[in-house]
Structure 1
Amino acid sequence: MPVAAQPRATFILDNGAYNIKAGFATNEVPSIIPNCLARSRGRHVYIGDEFLTQCKDFSGVVFRRPFEKGHLTNWESEKAIWDRLLFSKEVGFQVEPDETALIVTEPALQLPVCSSNMDQIVFEEYGFSSYYRCTTAALVHENETGLLFGASGRSDTTLIIDSGYSATVIIPIIENTVYYPAVRRLNVGGRLLRNFLKETISFRHYNMMDESWIVNEIKDQCCFVTTTFAKDLETCKKLPAARNPLALDYVLPRATAPGIRQGHIRDKTLPPDPDDQILTLGNERFSVPELLFNPSDIGMRQAGLPEAIMQSISAVPDADVRGLLLGNVVFVGGNTKFAGFRDRISTELRALVPDDISLRLGFPEDPITYGWQGGTKLGLDKTSLQSRQVTKKEYQEYGLSICMRKFGKKTVKVLENNV
């Protein structure tokens, strides 16, 4: 039976809970748009990229996101965002689904019913010619991860840590297949960190409980991971803000006649503007990201990231494979961009790993788009993509069962033989 021709275009949609990274396989960089509907104080609703390009006042914005607790549950909102992304002239893609292969990501531990909903939407609502659903980690694995360690090529065994908006997930990929018994999820992501910072600022300084967007910008610009938490905490306790080297002043955004003056870190060498509203941050800067390493600080009964990584490694029964995984650890996701994160995770992991095992940690230049970049490599490899995807014709003949069979959990037989 002849193999059907591959559609002329391949579109990669890395569907994150906070941002969508999207573009054709031939694009060099993706478009990044918020995965949300946003309603301003003036009750105007912005869809996806409209929030960044059209909204003039970020104060008091209310967000509606398709993801709830890490699962894609609200397709009414998601479809509105996808419609604008795929077909709007302003975004610039204007995808033709019947002539396009779609590669789309889902959370690593997505509920089966949520996955089935996506399958139906892709074929029955949009009518894509072919479709491949996978995790972001699977696309990260398509990159030449060896380059992150000063080598070349692509390993078939990688440990991927994806720390994003909803959670931090540890995913071992063995022989190019996710080994699900060892997947671990830490319920600390960008959303929890932002909410903790929002509550802290509202208790100590100004009431900012309704300022999710502004507080998220403060988190991204001001927070860092420390390797000397107790010492820095004592410094902030003893020294006033004016003499504290860890403290900084953040100028909150304010509405002006020509528009919005964006929030920024104040240059203390310049005289302050009397019209500026200044937020002084001390130990908030490092106590918020500390939750990645010590969730128990806020009463969460979960291991920190280094311990969770070792729990995942320990769940792999073959000692040789455990060594391979620790020699190819790749970090992606927005939370890995915190200053000091690399040094802290390297120090704490090295203390937990046996001395006779080589530990190599890889940090992509852009951890947010690294998964999408792997998707472009898969999209340009027609043979590999064809063996994984489901075509519209197959879906019409077999229904959801063909998607469950091709995209569902697979067993790593080599490991089972070594148990």
Structure 2
Amino acid sequence: MIIMATVVLDNGAGTAKAGFATDKEPRILPNCVTKAKNVRTRIFIGDQIDDCKDLSGLYYLLPFQKGYLVNWDIERQVWDFIFGKDALKVDFNDTNIIVTEPYFNFSSVQEAMNEIFFEEYAFKSVLKTTSSFLSQYKYVKEKNAPPLCSVVLDTGYSFSHIVPYFRGKRMSESVKRVNVGGKVLTNHLKEVISYRQLMVMDETYVINQVKEDVCYVSTQFAKDMDIAKKRGKENTIARDYVLPDYTHIKRGYVRPLEETTGKAKDGEQIIRMNNERFAVPELLFHPSDVGVQEMGVAEALVYAISTLPQEMRPHMYSNIVLTGGNCLLPGFSERFYADVRSMAPEDYDITIKTPSNPVTHAWDGGCLLANTEDYKKMAVTRDQYEEYGHSICSETFDV
């Protein structure tokens, strides 16, 4: 049996995770094209942005809007870069691909993706699926006794989705979406800092780094709020974030607590981060704080499980998988557990699995799926596509 090369592409709206199924870990690159103020002649595709010396005031061209792929010209540039000589060096004729797409994707977008992968890139076979399917596939395969039921919280760049599975099949009627993701958190943090301290509305890249470096999810919101009101050394939450100037300081950093004075040293520019540290991630649990009239992620999960048959519910609660970049926020899984525990029936056990790297978990699941009998059942070959067209894709792919 000849094992063919398989590319796994977890094509998120924020970052694309790409690599061969035999790789240890994927290449993670921003799924966008970037232009910089100081380099007018060049555009930066994906992780080429690391070559840019001055990352202030970047201009983004994003292929995804509100979670759906709408700008094909930009996306094709990113894919060309991923598959080309600078990244994976893919030989399309002898390569399979597993690629993720958004939940309940529009049929016009699905057909356009089919055409690009089969006709333009001419992959040997294609499997399109969702990132939550790959996450639960990895979860099921790694357990000695595979669970009948599992539920995946996929909280990413544009949205957070709660997706229940039964015997590997998605329970589509019970999928819930919360319109809050990492993009909303970053944009809200930009507005708060701009209103309180310093105009940073054009500094998306820098403020996203601030969010990743400083923010955390509070397990005791009211108590942390009281601490944040205190002055001087009694306030153990406030931190000084030193902004990059791109001559001496290439990347911003957080001063340790003992050096947090609220005063800038010579030539430095700082942002004082106080209750913003935990009030911004709180939007994931209470989106109504910024006028998004929806349930938070924990409440949505409890509601999604409540729509399932009674006998499935205890199994769902004991097999919860957290994936997506927002799970990297310190305290996220502890807070999620506490909120679900407070809303779920008392006699149900709750078990939450947080992968070591929630960002690449779906990609790891794709690597497990490649070169298995499951892949052959779920994929469409180029010969089948040429004979049956889009109909075979819509029948075979479960998205």
If the length of structure 2 is used for normalisation, what is the TM-score? 0.95
Question: Counterparts of 1:224 and 1:325 in 2: how far apart (Å)?
Answer: 27
Which residue pairs with 2:350 in the alignment?
Answer: 359
Q: Does structure 2 retain, via aligned residues, the 8 Å contact 1:146–1:155? A: no
Give the deviation of 1:355 after TM superposition: 1.7
C-alpha change, 1:28 and 1:380, in structure 2 (3 Å) is farther
State whether structure 2 residue 251 is matched by structure 1 residue 250.
no
Which segments of 5 or more consecutive residues in structure 2 lack a partner in the other structure? Answer: none
Question: Counterparts of 2:68 and 2:97 in 1: how far apart (Å)?
Answer: 20
Which residue pairs with 2:98 in the alignment?
Answer: 103
RMSD: 1.7
Amino acid at match of 1:394: Q
C-alpha deviations, 1:387-409, integer Å up to 9, x for none?
Answer: 11000000000000000000146
Q: Does structure 2 retain, via aligned residues, the 8 Å contact 1:101–1:129? A: yes
C-alpha change, 1:281 and 1:408, in structure 2 (3 Å) is same
Question: SS in structure 1 opposite 2:120?
Answer: helix
Q: Does structure 1 retain, via aligned residues, the 8 Å contact 2:98–2:128? A: yes
Give the deviation of 1:109 after TM superposition: 2.8
C-alpha change, 1:291 and 1:406, in structure 2 (3 Å) is same
Amino acid at match of 2:82: L
C-alpha deviations, 1:211-264, integer Å up to 9, x for none?
Answer: 000000000110011122122223323x236541110000000121xx752100
Which segments of 5 or more consecutive residues in structure 1 lack a partner in the other structure? Answer: 410-419
Which residue pairs with 1:314 in the alignment?
Answer: 306
Amino acid at match of 1:69: K
C-alpha deviations, 1:30-68, integer Å up to 9, x for none?
Answer: 11111010000032310112112x111110001111111
Aligned length: 394
C-alpha deviations, 1:352-378, integer Å up to 9, x for none?
Answer: 111221211110000000100010000
Question: Counterparts of 1:320 and 1:49 in 2: how far apart (Å)?
Answer: 47
Which residue pairs with 1:135 in the alignment?
Answer: 130
Which residue pairs with 1:292 in the alignment?
Answer: 284
Question: Counterparts of 2:192 and 2:371 in 1: how far apart (Å)?
Answer: 47
State whether structure 2 residue 37 is matched by structure 1 residue 38.
no
State whether structure 2 residue 205 is matched by structure 1 residue 213.
yes
Question: SS in structure 2 opposite 1:172?
Answer: strand
Which residue pairs with 2:22 in the alignment?
Answer: 26
Which residue pairs with 1:324 in the alignment?
Answer: 315
Which residue pairs with 2:378 in the alignment?
Answer: 388
Which residue pairs with 1:417 in the alignment?
Answer: none
Q: Which of 174, 185, 208 pairs up with 2:166?
A: 174
Which residue pairs with 1:85 in the alignment?
Answer: 82
Amino acid at match of 1:107: P
Matches within 5 A, 1:190-205: 190-205=182-197
Question: Counterparts of 1:136 and 1:145 in 2: how far apart (Å)?
Answer: 14
Which residue pairs with 1:162 in the alignment?
Answer: 154
Q: Does structure 1 retain, via aligned residues, the 8 Å contact 2:32–2:46? A: yes
Which residue pairs with 1:152 in the alignment?
Answer: 144
Question: Counterparts of 2:65 and 2:108 in 1: how far apart (Å)?
Answer: 14
If the length of structure 1 is used for normalisation, what is the TM-score? 0.90
Q: Does structure 1 retain, via aligned residues, the 8 Å contact 2:284–2:297? A: yes
Which residue pairs with 1:125 in the alignment?
Answer: 120
Give the deviation of 1:117 after TM superposition: 1.3
Q: Which of 12, 16, 19 pairs up with 2:12?
A: 16
Amino acid at match of 1:134: T
Q: Does structure 2 retain, via aligned residues, the 8 Å contact 1:139–1:374? A: yes
Q: Does structure 2 retain, via aligned residues, the 8 Å contact 1:37–1:47? A: yes
Q: Does structure 1 retain, via aligned residues, the 8 Å contact 2:111–2:390? A: yes
Q: Which of 89, 93, 97 pairs up with 1:94?
A: 89
Question: Counterparts of 1:320 and 1:121 in 2: how far apart (Å)?
Answer: 43
Amino acid at match of 2:180: V
Q: Does structure 1 retain, via aligned residues, the 8 Å contact 2:215–2:276? A: yes
Q: Does structure 2 retain, via aligned residues, the 8 Å contact 1:163–1:335? A: yes
Question: Counterparts of 1:47 and 1:7 in 2: how far apart (Å)?
Answer: 31
